[in-house]
Amino acid sequence: MNLLETDSAALLAAVRRVLIAKGVLTDAEIADRIAKTEQASPALGARMVAKGWLEPDYRALLLEDGTKAAETLGIMIRGAPPLGVLENTPLVHNLVVCTLCSCYPRAVLGYPPFWFKSAAYRARAVRDPRGVLAEWGTLLPDNVRVRVVDSTADYRWMVLPQRPAGTEGWDEAQLAAIVREGDMIGVTVPDGARLREKTLYPER
Ligand code: FE
């Protein structure tokens, strides 16, 4: 453990003690939240995407109220910031970033990947989104507008990607299986180029 991790762990322990002492939270509530986050994974978001591709009513609910759409599938958002869903279209591609820190739709995607938290991604997603996308192998036509959306402590965002051609007749499980974490943040599109995250965002 390096010095930074030691300091962070000590700070975390101190904040927990104060919150519990002041009656803001209980130990059980903290344990419950940790357990919920550990259970979450991109498979949950992928299920929402697949259902949205198949069912127009569910797609409408996704875009209208992401929190409700998640909870309809038994994915509990309660206590976490509300979830918004951004729809990619033939003319608009959404890219999600937390410029400040690492705000991520944890309830539906699990823990944020290390590259999402990296200073390089947080800065470059805003400064040069097309450059970042190109490095992920996501090459968009010039007429597609790239919209960069800031994920914050007040609102978490995920992307509803476009359903790829060649998936006609697939069922929900087949569709969910091709939706990756990066597709729901917007760095990649389903069936796009393979992830090259390790070479692009080396761990500090
Ligand atoms: Fe953040």
151 labelled catalytic: no
Q: Are 53 and 26 within one domain?
A: no
Give me ligand 1 centre to Cα 177, in Å. Answer: 28
Return the pLDDT at 41. Answer: 94
- DSSP letter for 141, please: -
- Same domain for 125 and 72: yes
Please check whether residues 25 and 86 belong to one and the same domain. Answer: no
Element (H, E) at 54: helix 42-54
Query: How many Cα atoms sit within 13 Å of 106 on the Cβ side?
Result: 18
Stated as kind and residue range, the H or E segment containing 203 is none
Q: How far is the CA of 116 from the centre of ligand 1 (A)?
A: 10
Same domain, 48 and 29: no
Judge whether 118 counts as a catalytic residue: no
Mark whether 94 and 14 lie in a shared domain: no
Distance 103 CA to ligand 1 centre (A): 3
Do both 117 and 189 map to the same domain?
yes
Domain identity same for 29 and 127: no
The two tokens of residue 198 are 């390790």
80-83, Cβ contacts within 8 angstroms, sequence gap of 24 or more: 80/106, 80/107, 80/156, 81/152, 81/153, 81/154, 81/155, 81/156, 82/154, 82/155, 82/156, 83/107, 83/108, 83/156, 83/157, 83/158
Collect the ranges in the chain with pLDDT lower than 70: 1-4, 192-204
Do 80 and 143 lie in a common domain?
yes
Task: Say if residue 77 is in the same domain as residue 23.
Answer: no
Domain containing 9 equals 3-37
Q: Using the 8-state DSSP alphabet, how is residue 157 labeled?
A: E
Query: Identity (one letter) of the amino acid at 78?
Result: R
Verify whether residue 98 is a known catalytic residue: yes
Of these residues, 8, 41, 98, 151, which one is catalytic? Answer: 98
Spatial CB neighbours of 121, under 8 Å, sequence gap ≥ 6: 97, 115, 132, 201
Question: CA-CA distance, 147 to 58, in Å (whole number)?
Answer: 23
Model pTM score? 0.84
Residue 192: the pLDDT is: 39
One domain, residues 115 and 32: no
Look at residue 3 in the predicted model and tell me its pLDDT.
Answer: 59
Catalytic residue among 8, 41, 103, 118: 103
Sign of CA dihedral 20, 25, 29, 30: negative
Distance from the alpha carbon of residue 185 to the mean position of ligand 1, in angstroms: 14
Same domain, yes or no, for 168 and 80? yes
CATH number of the domain enclosing 47:
3.90.330.10
Residues 110, 21, single domain; the answer is no
Residues with CB under 5 A from ligand 1 (ion): 98, 100-103
Known catalytic membership, residue 102: yes
Domain total in the chain: 2
